[in-house]
Chains A and B, each alone.
Chain A
């Protein structure tokens, strides 16, 4: 069993980013959208493998294009966001599974182990930092837009642009976890710790702190367990996160 310092650093960075973004995603009732959006990465991963580019780069590009597509269609039609995400994600899944071959598909769906290069870890940490800076600096605007988009509008906030930035940051956070957790599980890292925090917290600060704590604990403990038990990290991380959520249920009912 070997500890990879790059992996530990990135699991803390990605955990922090996912914990923060997850809070606003859960409060904005984007729970299912998180899973759906992550699937949009698949055709990008498939295409990157075909073109012999780093798969994660393909995944990130597909996520950003998919997010802009969802946002664009939402602005031009009166369809519900969920409907648009549903159509875009099913199409992406279909295209992705067509162009990705067997083993690669399994790894793209569930994540893989592999050794992280220093470049990958550095890029991942920079991306995490960007996500954290966005959420911390925009939290007040996000709260106003969450409570009432109209109130936010009267304070000079461009709510539609804020929504786009949030969706892009959300997509980047999904991209951060793609390699370890895979397309199918990465949405859970964003949603489950935040859902745990929402059950326990009574204020915004409380929710952000609990969510980040649960998220980092899930990524680090999950990575350690995966090494100890020789299992895929994605599944272990999500199981640890789900364990925390179950514990939060017990605590609430005991109050």
Chain B
């Protein structure tokens, strides 16, 4: 299960990865490479271990096997929707400043990151619990972009974001990948986005994993097997040749 189209050392090499809780393995014997500047989509039904994989990849969960990031990798991570108290007196600015201070980034980096995700300065002045779902997700992506990451790992970054907002975020990550050579790993339930933006797809399902280019492996038969029912995805007209 390796991508064959890459040259040189990959941005990420995973060999025989197993992650488990209470002696039950959620992920077992997983191996894949992610090439520099590519976009890997991680798909699968709920409970298949997508977020567990993301947490193992950032080193926040114990695991067996090998996870090897290329030397000097700087990771920007966007977690799945967070549960934040509405009246928490921490503003978007407080949060971005905290990230910038820890990774020694400047105010200019904060302003640039806000510009990239299309978040207005007035919005980040509000407490984070008072932001809309879409604003909060953009804030998380902006925080991930502070400190010049070489890899972005996004766990359902557009969950709770309205459709124009989703398009903005997806286009932003795609642009960063193309212009700055960032390597992107993203977890998504939106197969249209996967088809549109992913270089490779890693599908996770209990007892079944697959890896390859979306056009090659996202077959109706595979999707039915993954999700247990026929699934259709829509390819946007503007992308058709």
Q: Is the CB of B58 within 8 A of A150?
A: yes
Query: What secondary structure prevails in chain B residues at the interface with A?
Result: mixed
* Residue B24, interface by CB 8 Å: no
| Given A153-B59, A155-B147, A203-B127: A198 in contact with B87 (beta carbons within 8 A) | yes
Q: How far is the CB of B213 from chain A (nearest CB, A)?
A: 28
Q: Is the CB of B102 within 8 A of A150?
A: no
Query: What secondary structure prevails in chain A residues at the interface with B?
Result: helix
**Those of B110-134 within 8 Å (CB) of chain A:** 126-128
Number of residues of chain B lying within 8 A (CB) of chain A: 31
Contacts of B126 in A (CB 8 A): 202
Q: Is the CB of B82 within 8 A of A147?
A: yes
Contacts of A117 in B (CB 8 A): none
| Given A151-B143, A154-B58: A27 in contact with B90 (beta carbons within 8 A) | yes
| Given A148-B82, A149-B60, A203-B127: A155 in contact with B88 (beta carbons within 8 A) | no
Q: Is the CB of B79 within 8 A of A151?
A: yes
**Those of B133-159 within 8 Å (CB) of chain A:** 140, 143-144, 147
**Those of A202-217 within 8 Å (CB) of chain B:** 202-207
Number of residues of chain A lying within 8 A (CB) of chain B: 28
Q: Is the CB of A202 within 8 A of B75?
A: no
* Residue A144, interface by CB 8 Å: yes
**Those of B15-42 within 8 Å (CB) of chain A:** none
Q: How far is the CB of A27 from chain B (nearest CB, A)?
A: 6
Q: Is the CB of B55 within 8 A of A150?
A: yes
Residues of A at the B interface (CB closer than 8 Å) are 27, 139-141, 143-144, 146-157, 197-199, 201-207
